[in-house]
Structure 1
Amino acid sequence: MQRLDFAKASPAAYKALLGVENYVRESGLEHSLLELVKLRASQINGCGYCVDMHARDARAAGESERRLYAVAVWRETPFFSPRERAALAWTEALTRLSGQPALDADYAALKEHFSEREMVDLGLAISAINSWNRLAVGFGLQPAA
């Protein structure tokens, strides 16, 4: 049950976060990669609304069912490119900040596949989805039945 409509309660805050989202969308990072990142962070954060939305968005953009099902276990499958794997590892590292002994290794892998600007833009995308997740979970946003 939705506790609060955060967009209506604070339109300026919603608009600010939407501005970050729009920047990320126009950053040049692949749309398919961004959807995988958003889906993985949302899975980790237990955000049913965002998992539903980003799975649908990825599917509409041409993502395969097989890869969508495998995002939660991406390390155990051969379905993702080295660039996607680096982005998914970085997503997990930044989403689960406490107890990150492998942060240096994840960063090294990221640096192999992304430019410095792309690394910052990806970090911003991960920060944005974590913010959306926290608002959606905290205020009880639910996917439509």
Structure 2
Amino acid sequence: MAKRKLLKDVDPQAFDTMLGFEKYLTTSSLSKIHAELIKIRVSQINGCSYCIDKHIQDALKYGEQPRRIFLLSVWRDTFLFSKEEQAILALVEEITLIAQHGVSDEVYDTAITVLGQQYTTEVMMAIIAMNAWNRVGITTGREPE
């Protein structure tokens, strides 16, 4: 396979549009740890090695515990994630795998109850943005640096 060109090198305006998502998220109330857990879990599901590597490094920089990262893919089977994080991760999985069965009322309603409408909206936007970044990264053949 020939080396594929990066989005920013081919169409800087398209890349800037993607960065608009990031700008919004940095002005939101989403915690850095929640944001990185979202990015890592979405990337695990989608199989984006570049993004998994990048966001694990970022999460560690922000103080996330390695043990929680190691167990993120099996978060339901541990006691390491708070009620809020469980609501976030359930939403991550259903939105990322939306073609399978949509987003259930149970998962959505739990997120609203636990996180509130505004924070749930910010979580949704982070999930949507990360899914978009994964698709760009995978399509252009990004690999961990």
Residue in 2 that maps onto 1:53? 54
Q: Give the TM-score normalised by the residue count of structure 2.
A: 0.95
The whole-number CA distance in structure 2 between the counterparts of 1:52 and 1:75 is: 22
Residue in 1 that maps onto 2:134? 133
TM superposition outliers: structure 1 runs of 4+ over 3 Å: none
- 1:1-145 equivalent positions in 2, closer than 5 A: 2-100=3-101, 103-144=104-145
Does the CA contact (< 8 Å) of 1:91 and 1:126 recur in 2?
Answer: yes
Cα deviation, residue 4, structure 1: 1.4
The whole-number CA distance in structure 2 between the counterparts of 1:2 and 1:25 is: 32
The whole-number CA distance in structure 2 between the counterparts of 1:2 and 1:106 is: 40
The whole-number CA distance in structure 1 between the counterparts of 2:131 and 2:100 is: 17
What one-letter code is carried by the residue in structure 2 that aligns with 1:58?
A
The whole-number CA distance in structure 2 between the counterparts of 1:135 and 1:40 is: 17
Cα deviation, residue 101, structure 1: 6.5
For structure 1, the 5+ residue unaligned runs are: none
Q: Give the TM-score normalised by the residue count of structure 1.
A: 0.95
Number of equivalent positions: 144
Cα deviation, residue 99, structure 1: 2.3
What one-letter code is carried by the residue in structure 2 that aligns with 1:84?
E
Does the CA contact (< 8 Å) of 2:83 and 2:114 recur in 1?
Answer: yes
The whole-number CA distance in structure 2 between the counterparts of 1:14 and 1:136 is: 12
* Bigger shift: residues 112-121 or 23-32: 112-121
RMSD: 1.3
C-alpha distance after superposition, 1:38-94 (max 9, x if no partner): 100000000000000000000011000100101111011110000000000000010
Cα 1:2–1:40, aligned 2, differ >3 Å: closer, same or farther? Answer: farther
What one-letter code is carried by the residue in structure 1 that aligns with 2:7?
F
